[in-house]
Amino acid sequence: MHLKDEVKYVKGVGPNRAELLKKLEIRTLGDLITYYPREYEDRSKPKKIAECVDGEEVLIEAVAMHRLSEARIRRNMTIYKLVVRDDSGVCQITWFNQSYLKNKFEIGKTYRFFGKVSNHFGKIEMNSPVFDSENSNKNTGKIIPIYPLTYQLSQNVLRQIIENGIKIAGTLEESLPEYLVKEQKLMERNEAIHKIHFPGNMEDIEQARYRLAFEELLGMQLALLSLKNQYTQEQEGIAFPKEIKMSDVIDQLPFHLTNAQRKVLEEIDHDMESDKSMNRLLQGDVGSGKTVVSIIAAYKAVKSGYQVAIMAPTAILASQHLESFQGILEPFGIRCELLIGSVTKKKKEELLERLKQGEIDILIGTHALLEENVVFQNLGLVVTDEQHRFGVRQRSTIASKGNHPDVLVMTATPIPRTLALILYGDLDISIIDELPPNRKKIETYAVTPELEDRLNVFVKKQIELGRQAYIVCPLVEENEEIAAKSVIELAEKYKKEVFSEYRVEYIHGKMRPKEKDQIMQEFKDGKIQILVSTTVIEVGVNVPNASIMIIQNAERFGLAQLHQLRGRVGRGEYQSYCILKYESHSKVVKERMKIMQQTNDGFIIAEKDLELRGSGEFFGTRQHGLPEFKIANLFEDLPILKKVQAIAARIEKEDPQLKLEKNAKLKALVQEKFQDRIEI
Ligand code: ADP
Ligand code: MG
pTM > 0.95: yes or no = no
Please tell me the residue having the least CA distance from ligand 1 atom 6: 289
674 pLDDT tier (thresholds 50, 70, 90): low
The alpha carbon of 291 and the centre of ligand 1 are apart by a number of angstroms equal to 7
Task: State whether residue 123 is helix, strand or coil.
Answer: strand
Q: Among 259, 285, 292, 566, say which to mutate for ligand 1: greatest number of ligand atoms within 8 Å of CB.
A: 292
| Spatial distance between the Cα atoms of 110 and 193, rounded to a whole number of angstroms | 33
Please tell me the residue having the least CA distance from ligand 1 atom 15: 289
The alpha carbon of 370 and the centre of ligand 2 are apart by a number of angstroms equal to 22
In percent, the amount of the chain with pLDDT more than 90 equals 54
Q: In this predicted model, what pLDDT tens digit does every residue of 53-68 receive, in sequence order?
A: 998 889 999 999 999 9
288 ligand 1 Cβ < 6 A: yes
289 ligand 1 Cβ < 6 A: yes
283 ligand 1 Cβ < 6 A: no
Checking if the pLDDT of 517 tops 90, the result is no
The ligand 1 atom at the shortest distance from the C-alpha of residue 256 is 23
Q: In this predicted model, what pLDDT tens digit does every residue of 201-227 receive, in sequence order?
A: 989 999 999 999 999 989 888 877 776
Instruction: Tell me what the mean pLDDT of segment 539-565 comes to.
Output: 85
pLDDT of residue 625: 42
HEC-encoded secondary structure of 320-344: HHHHHHHHHHHHHCCCEEEECCCCC
294 ligand 1 Cβ < 6 A: no
The alpha carbon of 250 and the centre of ligand 1 are apart by a number of angstroms equal to 13
pLDDT of residue 454: 92
Higher pLDDT residue, 372 or 286?
A: 372
Checking if the pLDDT of 651 tops 90, the result is yes
Strongest mean pLDDT among 40-54, 182-196, 529-543: 182-196
Instruction: Tell me what the mean pLDDT of segment 149-165 comes to.
Output: 88
602 ligand 1 Cβ < 6 A: no
- Beta strands 142-146 and 307-311 are unpaired
User: Which residues, in sequence order, are CB contacts of 466 under 8 Å at separation 6+?
Assistant: 545
The alpha carbon of 652 and the centre of ligand 2 are apart by a number of angstroms equal to 23
Q: Which of 572, 662, 598 is nearest to 176 (CA)?
A: 662
pLDDT of residue 262: 97
pLDDT of residue 324: 94
The alpha carbon of 527 and the centre of ligand 1 are apart by a number of angstroms equal to 24
Give the sign of the dihedral formed by CA 607, CA 609, CA 614, CA 620: negative
The ligand 1 atom at the shortest distance from the C-alpha of residue 288 is 3
367 ligand 1 Cβ < 6 A: no
The alpha carbon of 571 and the centre of ligand 1 are apart by a number of angstroms equal to 9
Residue pair 415/564 in contact (Cβ under 8 Å)? The answer is: no
Task: State whether residue 75 is helix, strand or coil.
Answer: coil
The alpha carbon of 312 and the centre of ligand 2 are apart by a number of angstroms equal to 22
255 ligand 1 Cβ < 6 A: yes
570 ligand 1 Cβ < 6 A: no
Domains (range + CATH), the chain = 7-40+148-199 (no CATH), 45-141 (2.40.50.140), 213-233+631-673 (no CATH), 237-432 (3.40.50.300), 443-599 (3.40.50.300)
In percent, the amount of the chain with pLDDT more than 70 equals 89
| Spatial distance between the Cα atoms of 305 and 276, rounded to a whole number of angstroms | 18
Cα atoms found within 13 Å of the Cα of residue 224, Cβ hemisphere only: 23
565 pLDDT tier (thresholds 50, 70, 90): confident
Q: List 3's β-bridge partners, or say none.
A: none
pLDDT of residue 115: 93
Q: List 432's β-bridge partners, or say none.
A: 284
The mean pLDDT of the chain is: 87
| Spatial distance between the Cα atoms of 220 and 225, rounded to a whole number of angstroms | 9
The ligand 1 atom at the shortest distance from the C-alpha of residue 258 is 23
165 ligand 1 Cβ < 6 A: no
pLDDT of residue 661: 93
352 pLDDT tier (thresholds 50, 70, 90): very high
The alpha carbon of 29 and the centre of ligand 1 are apart by a number of angstroms equal to 55
User: Which residues, in sequence order, are CB contacts of 191 under 8 Å at separation 6+?
Assistant: 208
| Spatial distance between the Cα atoms of 626 and 14, rounded to a whole number of angstroms | 33
